Structure 1
């Protein structure tokens, strides 16, 4: 019989065939992944660009949206959370972003201590840089028309971090060794505009103001004062009376000379502003016998000579006008009856009485008591 068979033989795979098949499969998958990688990279790049643009716009382009310049103050007691809260409260979203940058960079809160002027449109990055570097904005301190050292202390306390009590304490420490007694403190300072960092110590403030005064009182001006027989404090004292007597700057040299004439002759100055100072009421429009009897070393109706010190912080211009003033014979003055703020001057008491009569008549006509 035949030996052939119709039963099929099973297919057998050699190890090499299996390896080849697997390799071919992996190659196919790698080709698919390779085609996907550029797409993935493109998507990632777009996301990065969008995020970068958002960060750039939020932190660098978009700025503080206030309409006016704003000052922010970081006190020495603030911690990171306090600063962040203040920034958001004062500057809104821009301040919040600046606080985020401060937090991310672990900026030192102590270094941010100070005052900073924030302009409209200022970016979060710029604000962050200011605070992280402690790049304070100088604060302008301007004072004039102040009568007492306490008023100056209050002005300084309203502009700088130091308070009025600390300023007075610094004056008490620094000024006496410089030759100033308490009554003469007002002569240690000259009205002007100064710049300080908000965090300036009271000692720094006193020494800076005193330095300006020392530069004013150069050798030439000291020589002029000496020629008049006056010290710089006495010049400031006469200038302070002249300023209180008249708002007319053109009259102040004449008024100052008048009181210098009386001082040189040993006459009582009889300056109404010193009585107002003694009474403690500069709003007085009419000085009465009751006021003239006020016991005080500042009352020049009762005391001969100059008062113990200035009755206001005198301007440099007034002191210079008195130092450069030309001699005149006037010994008396009275406000003009037209209430212009100017004065009638007299060399004799009789002439002065006539001037005074006209002025008092004008007061009575206006029912000024």
Structure 2
């Protein structure tokens, strides 16, 4: 009979050690590539335009994006990410693996910015808002918003360009250039101004730009949305009669003093095209970013004969409306008395 060949004891021990070592290496590799790596210290990793891999790795380290930046570096190089850096705003999830994070970075799978805006008074404020939400800074945005040629490109003037921005929610990628952000918002503007809305504007003998300018005044007057159609109807009545609008919010805008609570004769004396106590018709541009509810109030105004209004003396934010000067003077005296009683002098 043939005897079975016996292996030396040391061979079995060596084989066992190799197997154990292989398991350890495999487990370590699994942990480095597929194990939990991303921390919860940041919500997003921002990769800027023109960033190289060294810039990204430095940000990963300094912002504590992952538990071990050296392991991230190892996986990134294994996946050839250094040659495929793409700018963007990348969503981070706690315990995301290096492989998944780098796969998103390499593929450019960024999360868009859900851009929500409303009640932004001035275009300078809007530029600052955009600069906080996108890679381009506020200076790049304000230079476009104040650029006559840029405004004319879209059918506006520098004064009324601000009417192009309709408050809503839009999804736009973080690294979109400033001019492309403006272009995208113009696309949304065109979608907003449907044939139905344009027809309603024409019925009021207004252009879409004029509707938004008037809507900004309505917004400046109204503290309550349900009163906007009444206020819109009043100003439309004034326009149709060729009367001065005499809207206090335009005077406050013209004086560039938004702390004014009581419009006085010295405020009315300012010679400024936005002062509707001096200049007939609509001002050259909006006095704030008109919300959709105010735009629709101008397009769907309440039908009445009111041409005067005054804030109610109960400070509810609502107005007392009148058809005649005599009625209006009674309402105005009540409100002035209430102001005096509260020692509101300016």
**Gap change, CA 1:94 and 1:141, over 3 Å in 2:** farther
Q: What is the distance in 1 between the residues matched to 2:324 and 2:82? A: 72
Q: Does 1:208 align with 2:181?
A: no
Q: What is the distance in 1 between the residues matched to 2:219 and 2:315? A: 17
Per-residue CA deviations over 1:263-282 (Å, capped at 9, x if unaligned) read 11111000000001001112
TM-score normalised by L of structure 2: 0.92
**Gap change, CA 1:256 and 1:300, over 3 Å in 2:** same
2:22 aligned partner: 48
Partner of 2:344, secondary structure, is coil
Greater share of helix: 1
Greater shift in the superposed pair: 87-96 or 240-249: 87-96
* Per-residue deviation, 1:160: 0.2
TM-score normalised by L of structure 1: 0.86
Per-residue CA deviations over 1:201-242 (Å, capped at 9, x if unaligned) read 112211111111111111111111111100001100111001
Per-residue CA deviations over 1:160-186 (Å, capped at 9, x if unaligned) read 001223224445344313320011111
1:75 aligned partner: 48
Q: What is the distance in 2 between the residues matched to 1:154 and 1:355? A: 40
* Per-residue deviation, 1:96: 4.5
**Gap change, CA 1:198 and 1:109, over 3 Å in 2:** farther
The answer to whether the Cα contact below 8 Å between 1:141 and 1:194 also exists between their aligned partners in 2 is yes
Larger radius of gyration: 1
Q: Does 1:278 align with 2:254?
A: yes
Partner of 1:175, secondary structure, is helix
Aligned to 2:212, which of 236, 258, 266? 236
Matches within 5 A, 1:303-318: 303-318=279-294
Partner of 1:198, secondary structure, is coil
* Equivalences, count: 338
Q: Does 1:139 align with 2:139?
A: no
2:163 aligned partner: 187
The answer to whether the Cα contact below 8 Å between 2:52 and 2:82 also exists between their aligned partners in 1 is no
Aligned to 2:271, which of 279, 295, 320? 295
Partner of 1:194, secondary structure, is strand
The answer to whether the Cα contact below 8 Å between 2:66 and 2:72 also exists between their aligned partners in 1 is no
The answer to whether the Cα contact below 8 Å between 1:95 and 1:124 also exists between their aligned partners in 2 is no
Q: Which stretches in structure 2 are left out of the alignment for 5+ residues?
A: none
The answer to whether the Cα contact below 8 Å between 2:33 and 2:75 also exists between their aligned partners in 1 is no
Greater shift in the superposed pair: 289-298 or 165-174: 165-174
